[in-house]
Structure 1
Amino acid sequence: MTASNSWGKTVVYTALILCLISFLLTIHAGYEYYSNNTDDKILEKTKVDAYNKASVVLENISSELNSTSLLTEGIAKELRSGELKNDSIIRQHILDKMKGNPNIYSIVIAYSPEYYGKLHSLHFKKNGSNILDSPILYDYTNNSEETTTWYNNAIKKKCGVWDQPYFGIADGTYLIDYSTPFYLAEFKNGSEVAGVVCASRSIEGIRTQIGSLDLGNTGYGFIFSEEGLIVSYPVQYYLLRNIHKLAKEDTELNLISENISKNMTGRVVENDRTGQSSWVFYKNILSTDWILGTALPQEEILLNKDIEQDRSIIQVMLLTFAFLFFLSLLFVSIFSYDDRSLWLLALVFSSLCILGMGIIWHFTLNESSIEVDENDNIVVFDMVDIETVMLKSDTNPKAFRIPTGVFIQSIEFSTSNDITMTGYVWQNISGLSAEKASPRFSFPESKESTVEKAYVDEDKNIVGWRFTTILRQQFDYSRYPFDEENIWIKFWNNTSEESVLIPDFDSYDSLAPEKLLGLENSLVLEGWKPQKTFFSYRINSYNTNFGVKDFKHKNLPELYFNVAIKRDLKSPFVSDLLPIIVVVILLFVVLLITTREEEKNQFGFKSSGVLTYCASLFFVLIVSHASLRAKIPTNCMIYLEYFYLILYLAILAVSLNSIVFASHINIPFIDTKDNLYMKVLYWPIIAGFLLMITLLNFY
């Protein structure tokens, strides 16, 4: 066997092994992607996770409700057994029970009028840290009053019952009652009901547990009764109101109530007004007629997984490309092993690398502009989202909400980090005189701003202000020319009373971010394209109270209006990418004329000529590079700068190659076949480095 045949078989076997390995890895990566990273799989995993979390909360709620019913039933049994013989013993016993149960707001023991011959009751209720003892003064046996349902329902059903929740005016909180009848041996031989024991507990504890569910930034939980009474919901104004009536006013509630009426669970509901969709499912709470539901924001869930999906796709792509290259190597090593086969392999490898770069660029250009970024943007689309944010940031639910709208008429980049904006801001000034009203907002991040009153709508208590502001913001240009930025206006509340700024959603025709709410249709933004606009909150904290004693400066939800923009590629392609493409092609042409063969030396190859050409190309790159740095002033390396660095090295390599090739130094790698290997490797090396840099910069 000759050395050449042995070497050829080694290449064939090696290519075959690499081909099989890359094929198996591609199949495995593809299977892993379709098993774990498709949208359906991600949603299914999230649903199961949310379902498990909801089950834990459900068990806790059921346990707390069960403890209330057991407490009430226990008192009824103690009355029947004779352990609680008189009012004095009962009073001490109930006081001990209430001290050990912080969620119990009141306990009532109401006797039947037939037992004492008159109304007689013991009523214990909390007043702050104290427990007051005061009998009920109204006729609790009157079944025509709603306030007596706790007594009459238990008498009628002769068993323990949960009553509909209500707002306790005296307690200033939402309550729910569990009442059960009790029997006494001395009253008609214990055969008839002698009275009712009723315990009231707070719903706020249940709402807090629902709010603790980890369902993303704007996912939320809720509780409804079978009749449609809202027991727990992020919007406190809706509590104890009927969902079916509110559904006529609230699109989100309408979608949820439709699902309940159709007994559907685990279905995606789409809100046409906001352009968002949620996954809603329900579970029944044992021992009550309540339904616990959860709503998962589908877009938010998928956005959080987009990068992982793209990485998995790119992994499959790279393994597929590796398989195709090794397959080409296998065919070449079997059927042809000459100079043309080397050029073919170089073409295949370079083409795959360039295709890979194109795919990565495609992913980058199609990335969504709404995401939870390093600034912890929490995007909101309706009042449910807002109240969910407020609940998670421990904002006082009674704080006054100030609806605030914004309309941007112009945006201009005065420098790479300074933006001039003009437009209108309007606010609801309920309780104030429109003529004397001043803005309840300010732009804390502006270098300079002017705000002047523009219009007044006294019927709706709306005052609009025209503003001009210069904002300085730090943008990330590291992905230029495939960068996208988020321009924002941060609003601070100027009022002294406890209040929060909220978006005035009712003032917009559509809340879908793609509809560019609050943005002038004919907006001119040179070099950029608006993609989406949206309101968001960021939970900020400050290390000072700004001299205001009661100012909340930790976990403070602050309102932002965002304009997501992407760079228009036309200008960067002509001014930056096109010169690079031309130079890299010309440099290859310079390399091609490096030859010692007279019949090919039509251009009169000399190393001095090559150096001259390379110097000219280097000068072109330097000018283009300097122009880029002047246009995009930043402290970090820009993605496109790596292209220049690679070309600088390529120019140096081609120059050194021409010098060595023209000299009498014997280097087989350069001298073999008239500098063939350097020419063949030019594009694979350039394309391979560019692909690697693209991967490192984007993923």
Structure 2
Amino acid sequence: MVGAACLVGAITTAVLGVTYQRSLGQAVTVARDHARAEADRAAGVIDSELRRFEVAVTGVATAINSGGQDTETLMANLRQGVDRTPQMAGVGVAFRPLAHDPNLRLFAPYLRRRGDAVEQLQLDTLFDYTQGNRDWFEGPLKSGRAMWSEPAVAETLGATAVEYSALLTRGGTAVGVVHGAMSLTEVNDIVSAVDVGEFGYSFLVSQGGFVISHPFADEYALGMRVFTGMSLQDRGSVEDVTDPVTGEPSWMFTELVPATGWRLGVVFFKDQAERTEALRRQRIHLAIALIATLCLFIALVLEPYRYTYAPFPLWLGVGAGSLVLLLGIAFIWAVPYGNNPPTRETETTFVDTGSVRRFSLDTMRGSLASKGTLPSFVPTGVFIQTMEILSPNNVAVTGYVWQRYARNIPKEVARGFVLPDASDREITEAYRSSTADAETIGWYVKATVRQKFDYANYPLDQQAFRLRIWHSDLNRSIVLVPDLEAYKIIHPLARAGLDGNFVLPGWAVSRTQFGSTPRIRTTTYGLTSEGDAGAELAFDVVINRRIIEPMLSNLLPLTVSGFMVFALLLILKESTRGNVVQTLSAFSGLFFVVILSQLDLRRRVSGASILYIEYYYFVMYFTIVVAALTTLTNGYPGLFPWIERREHFLPKLLYWPVILAAIAVITLVTFY
């Protein structure tokens, strides 16, 4: 019978193992295909944008070549080009020495975009563009064709840009170039819109290996390759790499941008594809089948000793079975630990600028459909310097919150925010900065924030500290969105928004992320207008508890108590019948030790439900009571012969397997 059950268990384990491997392979394949498709799609979008820019610059050059090269005509064509091309940060012409006017060595008028305005510069009065090996000027003249330059800090813009240059000709001879600059901000917006969700990020590298767009662009000097093993020639290549940003084992997909020869890369984290709910449950099923099969195999091996007294093989088998159960418990612990927190259906998680753009468009469509008006969007950022868990539901935080108000937002709209969960707060304006497009205001925040933490899985719990933010003007349609442009990298695993020296004793930071949830208003706050319920912005810090401290403070005392109870059972013999009262006194002492330990746990970690670790205490209570009753049988010989047989050998033998089996079942029910 045991042999048949063992065979069935082995077959079931094999089937579940094959099924899991197939499901894992399918999940990885789907994720890889999605990342590859996104890389291909984004490369096509970037190529289309760059070709549109090429057409604009080439159109200006054609108009100048065919319409005359006097100063008035030049400026008219340049102005027309910059007005028609929003992506163009600047455009100009640059003549070879003496080519425009024999009495004028250099001539290079340039139009630079400044917000909604356009200003004119004379590059020839700022620097000698024929010196210094400037790609945008020397490249087309040497090669005889239009071309893109490598990314560099544009002297005309004061920012990193790429330039496209077309030949300026007269009578079939090249006399200069028409060059247009595209800010890397425009390119970054396209690259960051690649939809790989929480599973990775994208970057762009020029043909010469220069970093054009990368979440950690500040960490890479121009000319440095993102990955030393990256091939810039092979189209559609896939490489196994260790991501230098997060340290995660990853795949890197690269696609060619035909217009320029640039390479778009998509880094996809391997482990993230495996962290799905379906795969998690399949791993637990496989673990259950494997544990049951191994236990049945041990029982099969011990079958010949069932009716004989052979202590050594029986104890050896019980030890092996207990070890299997212990490893099974540890495996089930590891399955849910560190998994991503579930996202509510009504919540939007922002993982890149593309998700912010989609949220903004959906919000505008909804507002137009319901109210016929457009909301105002206020980019808001958070930077947390310190965080301390004061009590089970109170968290003290310090840091900065800033908001960027566009110039088109009326002055009547209040500047500020509300922390609805803060019971004690100090908000002080720290700085204020203005540009042509917007005004940025930053506040230093010191607050105690109430949280609804769930400690049911303690000590394997994961908590999400949430800083909810409302706009202070409750009577207007203001929507807060994350100011993702203010962060180097916005992927959740990069822990954006936390100080580099951030420390939270007893916890490990898993991720940070911005989210938005609909705000349901149940009151008008006494205002004449109902205003707009809108959405609230949330900044989440997801933390995993470090289990060392709970193991030392809770599991270690329980383990010691368990071994002491086992030791008291081991001395249960016919020769110790006179010590029953003393043994029961020892059990009662251990019972109260366990009670005091549980009370201390409840004092430190409160919760509305029973904590996972508290079931360990319940198992220990039951164990002490059963051990005490077993000890009582030693004082009444002959009443329970099957228990008393061979000096209570059966209770001693089953002690650890029963305890560990109970804990395994509790663990399975809790985390399944």
Tell me which interval the TM-score lies in, with the shorter structure as reference length.
0.5 to 0.7
| Residue aligning to 1:617 | 590
Structure 1: segments with no counterpart, 5+ residues: 1-13, 55-145, 148-241, 283-295
| 1:632 and 2:593 matched | no
Which residues in structure 2 correspond to 1:90-129 (within 5 Å)?
none
Q: Distance in 1 between matches of 2:602 and 2:635?
A: 37
Check conservation: 1:274, 1:511, Cα contact below 8 A: no
1:236-284, Cα deviation, whole Å (9 max, x unpaired)? xxxxxx99994355423586999xx9998999999998999999999xx
1:149-175, Cα deviation, whole Å (9 max, x unpaired)? xxxxxxxxxxxxxxxxxxxxxxxxxxx
Which residues in structure 2 correspond to 1:320-331 (within 5 Å)?
320-331=290-301
Q: Distance in 1 between matches of 2:663 and 2:631?
A: 24
| Residue aligning to 1:552 | 532
- Which letter maps to 2:515? S
| 1:566 and 2:544 matched | yes
1:530-562, Cα deviation, whole Å (9 max, x unpaired)? 222221222343445555646333xx4321111
Q: Distance in 1 between matches of 2:239 and 2:404?
A: 34
Decide which moves more: 401-410 or 429-438.
Answer: 429-438
- Which letter maps to 1:552? D
| Residue aligning to 2:174 | none
Q: Secondary structure at the match of 2:423?
A: strand
- Which letter maps to 2:336? T
Q: Secondary structure at the match of 1:465?
A: strand
Decide which moves more: 451-460 or 561-570.
Answer: 451-460
Check conservation: 1:274, 1:512, Cα contact below 8 A: no
- Which letter maps to 1:424? Y
- Which letter maps to 2:509? P
Q: 1:504 aligns with which of 465, 473, 483?
A: 483
| 1:20 and 2:35 matched | no
Q: Distance in 1 between matches of 2:420 and 2:302?
A: 66
Q: 2:384 aligns with which of 401, 404, 408?
A: 408
Check conservation: 1:491, 1:560, Cα contact below 8 A: yes
**How far does residue 342 in structure 1 lie from its aligned partner after superposition?**
2.6
| Residue aligning to 1:352 | 324
**How far does residue 454 in structure 1 lie from its aligned partner after superposition?**
0.8
Q: How many residues align?
A: 478
| 1:316 and 2:276 matched | no
Q: Secondary structure at the match of 1:364?
A: coil
Q: Distance in 2 between matches of 1:268 and 1:544?
A: 55
1:69-96, Cα deviation, whole Å (9 max, x unpaired)? xxxxxxxxxxxxxxxxxxxxxxxxxxxx
| Residue aligning to 1:475 | 453
Q: Distance in 2 between matches of 1:297 and 1:492?
A: 34
| Residue aligning to 1:518 | 497
Which residues in structure 2 correspond to 1:287-686 (within 5 Å)?
306-334=276-304, 338-365=310-337, 367-368=338-339, 370-374=340-344, 377-392=347-362, 394-396=365-367, 398-431=374-407, 439-459=415-435, 461-495=439-473, 496-544=475-523, 546=525, 547=527, 549=529, 551-553=531-533, 556-596=534-574, 598=575, 606-686=579-659
Check conservation: 2:189, 2:353, Cα contact below 8 A: no
Q: Secondary structure at the match of 1:447?
A: strand
Which residues in structure 2 correspond to 1:199-218 (within 5 Å)?
none
| Residue aligning to 2:664 | 691
Q: Secondary structure at the match of 2:336?
A: helix
Q: Secondary structure at the match of 2:276?
A: helix
Q: 1:515–1:692: structure 2 CA closer, same or farther, 3 Å change rule?
A: same
Q: 1:315–1:558: structure 2 CA closer, same or farther, 3 Å change rule?
A: same
Q: 1:297–1:304: structure 2 CA closer, same or farther, 3 Å change rule?
A: farther
| 1:251 and 2:227 matched | no
Q: Secondary structure at the match of 2:406?
A: coil
Q: Secondary structure at the match of 1:485?
A: strand
**How far does residue 376 in structure 1 lie from its aligned partner after superposition?**
5.3
Q: Distance in 2 between matches of 1:452 and 1:594?
A: 70
Q: Secondary structure at the match of 1:653?
A: helix
Q: Distance in 1 between matches of 2:661 and 2:406?
A: 64
Q: Distance in 2 between matches of 1:520 and 1:257?
A: 27
Q: Distance in 2 between matches of 1:473 and 1:248?
A: 36
**How far does residue 42 in structure 1 lie from its aligned partner after superposition?**
6.7
Q: Distance in 1 between matches of 2:305 and 2:18?
A: 33
Q: 1:392–1:584: structure 2 CA closer, same or farther, 3 Å change rule?
A: farther
Q: 1:421–1:256: structure 2 CA closer, same or farther, 3 Å change rule?
A: closer
Q: Secondary structure at the match of 1:455?
A: strand
Q: Distance in 2 between matches of 1:248 and 1:608?
A: 78
Check conservation: 2:27, 2:274, Cα contact below 8 A: no
Q: Distance in 1 between matches of 2:637 and 2:420?
A: 70
Q: Secondary structure at the match of 1:638?
A: coil
**How far does residue 526 in structure 1 lie from its aligned partner after superposition?**
3.2
Q: Distance in 2 between matches of 1:350 and 1:41?
A: 35
Overall identity of the aligned pairs, in %: 24
Decide which moves more: 461-470 or 428-437.
Answer: 428-437
- Which letter maps to 1:21? V
| Residue aligning to 1:34 | 21
**How far does residue 440 in structure 1 lie from its aligned partner after superposition?**
3.0
1:30-89, Cα deviation, whole Å (9 max, x unpaired)? 1211122446457269969x99xx9xxxxxxxxxxxxxxxxxxxxxxxxxxxxxxxxxxx
Check conservation: 2:192, 2:353, Cα contact below 8 A: no
**How far does residue 523 in structure 1 lie from its aligned partner after superposition?**
3.1
Q: Secondary structure at the match of 1:662?
A: coil
1:509-546, Cα deviation, whole Å (9 max, x unpaired)? 22233332221233342332322222122234344555
Check conservation: 1:36, 1:42, Cα contact below 8 A: no
- Which letter maps to 2:653? V
- Which letter maps to 2:441? V
Q: 1:339–1:462: structure 2 CA closer, same or farther, 3 Å change rule?
A: same
Q: Secondary structure at the match of 1:451?
A: strand
| Residue aligning to 1:232 | none
**How far does residue 426 in structure 1 lie from its aligned partner after superposition?**
1.1
- Please report the RMSD computed on the Cα atoms of aligned residues, expressed in angstroms: 4.3
Higher radius of gyration, 1 or 2: 1
- Which letter maps to 2:333? W
Q: 1:252–1:514: structure 2 CA closer, same or farther, 3 Å change rule?
A: closer
Check conservation: 1:274, 1:510, Cα contact below 8 A: no
- Which letter maps to 1:620? V
Q: 1:392–1:606: structure 2 CA closer, same or farther, 3 Å change rule?
A: farther
**How far does residue 671 in structure 1 lie from its aligned partner after superposition?**
1.6
Check conservation: 1:22, 1:319, Cα contact below 8 A: yes
1:281-301, Cα deviation, whole Å (9 max, x unpaired)? 99xxxxxxxxxxxxx997799
Q: 1:533–1:428: structure 2 CA closer, same or farther, 3 Å change rule?
A: same
- Which letter maps to 1:502? V
- Which letter maps to 2:590? L
Check conservation: 1:380, 1:386, Cα contact below 8 A: yes
Q: 1:253–1:433: structure 2 CA closer, same or farther, 3 Å change rule?
A: closer
**How far does residue 667 in structure 1 lie from its aligned partner after superposition?**
1.4
Structure 2: segments with no counterpart, 5+ residues: 42-82, 85-181, 195-201, 206-231, 256-265, 369-373
Check conservation: 1:434, 1:461, Cα contact below 8 A: no
**How far does residue 508 in structure 1 lie from its aligned partner after superposition?**
1.5
Q: 1:576–1:36: structure 2 CA closer, same or farther, 3 Å change rule?
A: same
TM-score where L is the length of structure 1: 0.60
